[in-house]
Amino acid sequence: METLICATNSSLILSKHSPCRPNFPASYPTQKLNHPFSTLKPCASAKGFSSTPPPVGRDNNERPIRKKNNDDDDELPRPVIYRIIRRILFSVGVPMGLGLIFLHIFGVLRENQVYDAPRWLAFITAFLTFGASSVGIAYGALSASMEEKDGSFLGVEQIQKNWVDMWQEEEAAK
């Protein structure tokens, strides 16, 4: 069956009549479109489809846009940012790597018929290691010292201090 789709000056050509509908015509007359495809534009008025951009200085609800005052926020020094990134990568990467290694080991043991580990064991192992990996993001950010000093390798003493500071700032904001 030969079919031309979306051609401007073509007709649908069927090589055989349809066995289901014997009265179905084999070809259609060519119809010219009122609007060529290149000039069609979306007519919806949802966000992103409007033909006129919103006025500058106002949001979609016609309220003036207020710029946030970030003068009271201090920028973190580069060594602190790098320390946070290092701790996040470590606290996310180690559990995720362990989870992938355990899943690979379970697969190799099952494939070589050494030990047929139950599926729930692989599921629990993946749940714990990938869950610890997701908690690692928060741990990596909270365990970093906000001063120039490095602190310990894992930053356990800093997480206690930063946790209390974070909740005090939250209470002060309310």
DSSP 84-122: HHHHHHHHHHHHHHHHHHHHHHHHHHHHTTS----HHHH
Domains contained in the chain, number: 1
3-state secondary structure of 27: strand
Q: Which domain holds residue 130?
A: 78-173
In the DSSP assignment, the letter for residue 13 is: B
The torsion region of residue 85 among left (phi > 0), alpha (psi -120 to 50) and beta comes to alpha
Token digits of residue 110 = 């099952």
Measured between alpha carbons, how far is 112 from 117 in angstroms, rounded to an integer? Answer: 12
In a domain, 164, yes or no: yes
Cα 156 to chain centroid, rounded:
30
pLDDT 10s per residue in the chain (174 long)? 455 455 555 455 555 555 555 555 555 556 665 655 566 565 555 555 556 655 555 555 555 555 555 555 678 888 888 988 999 999 999 999 999 999 999 999 999 999 998 999 999 999 999 999 999 999 998 988 777 777 777 788 888 888 888 889 889 988
In a domain, 21, yes or no: no
In a domain, 66, yes or no: no
In a domain, 112, yes or no: yes
In a domain, 168, yes or no: yes
pLDDT digits (tens, 9 = 90+) for 99-110: 999 999 999 999
pLDDT digits (tens, 9 = 90+) for 54-88: 555 555 555 555 555 555 567 888 888 898 899 99
Tell me the C-alpha to C-alpha distance, in Å, between residue 148 and each of 25, 80, 141.
82, 7, 15
3-state secondary structure of 64: strand
**Radius of gyration for the chain, computed over Cα atoms and rounded to the nearest angstrom:** 32
In a domain, 159, yes or no: yes
In a domain, 130, yes or no: yes
In a domain, 7, yes or no: no
